[in-house]
Structure 1
Amino acid sequence: MVSQVETPVFDAPHSRTLARNLSVEGLVQVFTSFHRNFFTGVMAQAMRIAGQGTPVLVVQFLKGGIGQGYDRPMQLSQNLDWIRCNMPRCIDSPQISEEEARSLLELWQHTRRVVEQNRYDLVVLDELSLALRFGFIPEAEVLDFLRTRPRHVDVILTGPEMPDALLDVADQITELRRTHQP
């Protein structure tokens, strides 16, 4: 007996609409670690998905230093937009200037807006747990964002010490640990 699996071919303009009309619900994934060095795996996943034609947004809340900002995204393919705060440095403590706080808030508001507009199917919120812990973004707003996003959108949250409220709504939690010390 021979079986054959046939992959349906969709017209490019209609394939996203068709996929969104299917009953597939997006997942909330959490990647957490005590160390801030696991972004490579998440980014590889985002790039792989973008390479398959899925629109992806990567948001790095605490990274700066490259004169970027939400209005100047880096495009790492035709399907992956990568944005950071418009600030001159990377943030590693809750002590920030008013300008940096404004930049963080603008980035969060932009992220919410473009997700509500249905522009992306995967959204990566890098170091979100630290932005929450430092008090830059209200936890209630993140929970509302996850609850009200278009139902097909997958969201990946990263960062150390992820709040319990976000772990409770996650469909998948990946905790990365070192097995040895150098």
Structure 2
Amino acid sequence: MSTQIDRLRELVQPLATEHAMDLEEVKITTAGRRRVLQVVVDTDEGVGLDACAELSRQISEALDADDLMGGDTYVLEVTSPGAERPLTEPRHYRRSVGRLLWLRPHQGADVVARLVAVDEEGVDVEVPGEKGRKATPRRFAFSEIAKARVELEFNRPAGRQPAASGDESLKEA
């Protein structure tokens, strides 16, 4: 027997696909009497407010036609992933090319490095040099990475912008 979350995913997935979005997560949280159904979606270009609103309307209509949430009230939130969300799929890394990452390998010390390329097997990063030294390139296979997330940068270095969709190299200004 499938769980409520599995059934919700089955309901939401085709709607997200119709909007060319990846369904990243479906979860229900409870705070007192209030239930929140959160649907997290993403695309290579990011997800705009209008796209979230349209998908939310369609999900709401589908839920109204179904009894998956039962008779109790709930709040539906359709959102994009947060800036520091964990990177768990190759597409997450692809969407983060040019960004600073925190990586925790299965073996060895944590690494903070700039993501420069992604392929089917893993990622190429540049570890910043200390005190004016040149950055050091490193390669991590996906199987070597225990955890990873994007690090927020408030002052991104000039010329270090995320690459366009499909372009796996850094763009230089």
TM-score (normalised: structure 1):
0.22
Instruction: Identify, as 1 or 2, the structure richer in strand.
Output: 2
TM-score (normalised: structure 2):
0.23
Instruction: Identify, as 1 or 2, the structure richer in helix.
Output: 1
Higher relative contact order (CA closer than 8 Å, sequence separation 6+)? 1
Larger radius of gyration: 2
